[in-house]
Amino acid sequence: MKNNQNNQIKNKLKILNKTKNIVSKKGWYPDIIKDLVINGVDKSELVLFFQNDYKKLLQFCLNELNKSHETKIKKIKLINFSISKRIKKILLERLKIINADKIFYKKTFNHLLLPQNSKIMKKNLYKSVDNMWYLAGDNSTDFNFYTKRFFLSIIYTNSLIILFNKGIEQSETSVEQNLKRIAKIPKLKERFSFIRENLPVFLKSIIN
């Protein structure tokens, strides 16, 4: 049973690698499934793993990013860091992972920005920031639970835009600056005002 599961995981990851090669050149599109078959992927595996649906394949790619990020963070000793330093470290490590496959993730990010993909964008953005707070050891259950995720989603998305257009160094700098700015604003209402004033246009529709 375990051998069968391990083989399935290996085969999924092989498909992921071939997907990355295609997406890095052409972006995401419904017929990517057909092109994967042309590139040697077993059609029956695409049906078994992804129901021949490219959006399920896209979701798998996003899930694997979260898994890779979680695995990397769990190898780092964060226990002696404050929560703010933990979240900063966690976010910067995620940017490094994305930067290693920058073209692929840029194409993926741009695809998720299309209006028809707003649901999957919102779902995965929330899942990503929620997991980052979980890795940071945040145990808040009150209103702060949602506000922390809201603020981090904006900072994270902004860092991706800078990463894809200006590079990793400027992206890391933006993370540090934005985290400091948010921390220095005492009132929640003022924090929301600051965030909204600095929102990219497309994000205003995503968070509504």
Give the chain's end-to-end CA distance (angstroms, integer): 45
pLDDT value, residue 173? 94
Query: In the numeric block, which tokens belong to residue 68?
Result: 């890779």
- CB burial class (10 A; 0-12, 13-18, 19+) of residue 45? middle
Residues 144 and 158: their CA atoms lie apart, in Å, by 21
The residues spanned by each domain of the chain are 1-52, 54-206
pLDDT value, residue 2? 65
pLDDT value, residue 182? 73
- Look up the pTM and report it: 0.88
pLDDT less than 50: residues of the chain: 201, 206-207
What would the pLDDT profile of 48-67 be if each residue is shown by its tens digit?
A: 999 999 999 999 999 999 99
What would the pLDDT profile of 87-112 be if each residue is shown by its tens digit?
A: 999 999 999 999 999 999 999 999 99
Query: Distance of CA 23 to CAs 90, 96, 104, 109, 182, Å?
Result: 26, 19, 6, 11, 35
